[in-house]
Amino acid sequence: MKILMVEDERYLAEAVARILEKNNYDVDLAFDGEDGLDSALTGVYDMILLDIMLPKLDGVSLLKHLRGDGVSTPVILLTAKGETEDKVLGLDSGADDYLPKPFKTEELLARIRAVSRRKGELLPEGVLAFGDIELNPSKLILSSGDRSYNLTLKEGRLLEYLIANKGTSLSADAIIEKVWGYDSDAEDNHVQVYISFLRKKLARLGSSVKIRNIRNVGYVLAAEGNAKDGRGSAKRSPNG
C-alpha cells in the first residue's frame, strides 16, 4: 500500500515514514502543500496523511482541490491541538478521518487500517481476498487454503494492486508507476518478470486465480470457475 504524507515538520514526517516503512507501507513525503497536491493528483496513492497547517497551500484547500479533481484517495487529516474548526471543515471537504497530533504510532496504524477497510478493499486485519487467495500486504504473505508463501515487497505490491483493481486490465505503465514509482527506470520486462514470479507462486499454491495477459492492453486478475472475489473458502468441486 502506497502512502503519501504531506507534513512540513520534516523530523515528524521522516520519523513516521520510517515506522510506516517498517510496517511494509510504501511512503512518499511532501513538505509543503503545493508539492503535496502535485503528488496527490497523480492518483497513485492508496492513502494520504495530510497536515492542515502547511506552507504554500493549506491542507483543507489541498483536499478541496483534490476532491474537485475527482481524486477519491482516502485522506486522514493530521490536526494540531485546538484546530477543531479546521477538523470539521476538513471532514466537510472530504477527509475520511482525522488524527489529533501528537499521536501514537499504534493509533496511526489503526486509523490507516480502519480507513482502508471502510473503502471496502480490506478485510479485518488488513487482509485482501480474491477468489481462493488471501494476501496480507503488511506481512507479505500469500495464502490459499492451508498453504502459504512469503512474497517479496515488489511481488506483494504488484498483487495488491491487481487485487484492488480486480477485473480491470492494468497496463505495464500503470503497474510501473504504482509498484516501482513514477520516477523509476523500471521497464515493461520488469513487470513481466514479476508477473511470472507471481504466476509461479499462485500455481504452486494450487490457486484458481490467474493473471491474464491481454495483448497490447495489460494484465488482469481473474478467478476461474465460480470462485468469487471477497472472503470465501477455496473453490472445491463436489466431485473432487
| CA–CA gap between residue 197 and residue 45 (Å, rounded) | 24
Task: Name the minimum Å distance from CB 51 to Ca ion.
Answer: 4
Query: What are the grid coordinates assigned to 132, written together?
Result: 481462493
Per CB under 5 A, 14 contacts Ca ion: no
Contact predicate 229/223, CB 8 Å: yes
d(CA 65, CA 34): 11
- 12 vs 26: CA distance, rounded Å: 17
CA distances (Å), origin 126, targets 152, 158, 162, 231, 232: 17, 16, 16, 12, 16
- Residue 4 or residue 122: which is nearer to Ca ion going by CB? 4
Number of residues that bind Ca ion (CB under 5 A): 3
Which of these segments, 5-13, 87-95, 149-157, 189-197, binds Ca ion (CB under 5 A)?
Answer: 5-13
Residue 12 found at the interface with Ca ion (CB under 5 A): no
Residue of this chain nearest to Ca ion (CB atom): 53
Minimum CB separation of residue 8 from Ca ion in Å reads 5
Least distance (Å) from Ca ion to the CB of residue 44? 24
Task: Name which of 159, 138, 162, 76 is nearest 111 in CA terms.
Answer: 76
Q: Which residue, 46 or 51, is less far from Ca ion as judged by CB?
A: 51
Shortest distance, CB of residue 183 to Ca ion, whole angstroms? 25
Q: Which of residues 41-100 bind Ca ion (CB under 5 A)?
A: 51, 53
Rank residues 11 and 146 by Cβ distance to Ca ion and give the closer one. Answer: 11
Applying CB under 5 A, the span of 7-15, 69-77, 137-145, 230-238 interacting with Ca ion comes to 7-15
51 or 121: whose CB is closer to Ca ion?
Answer: 51
Cα(64)–Cα(139) distance, rounded to whole angstroms?
Answer: 34
Contact positions vs Ca ion (CB under 5 A): 8, 51, 53
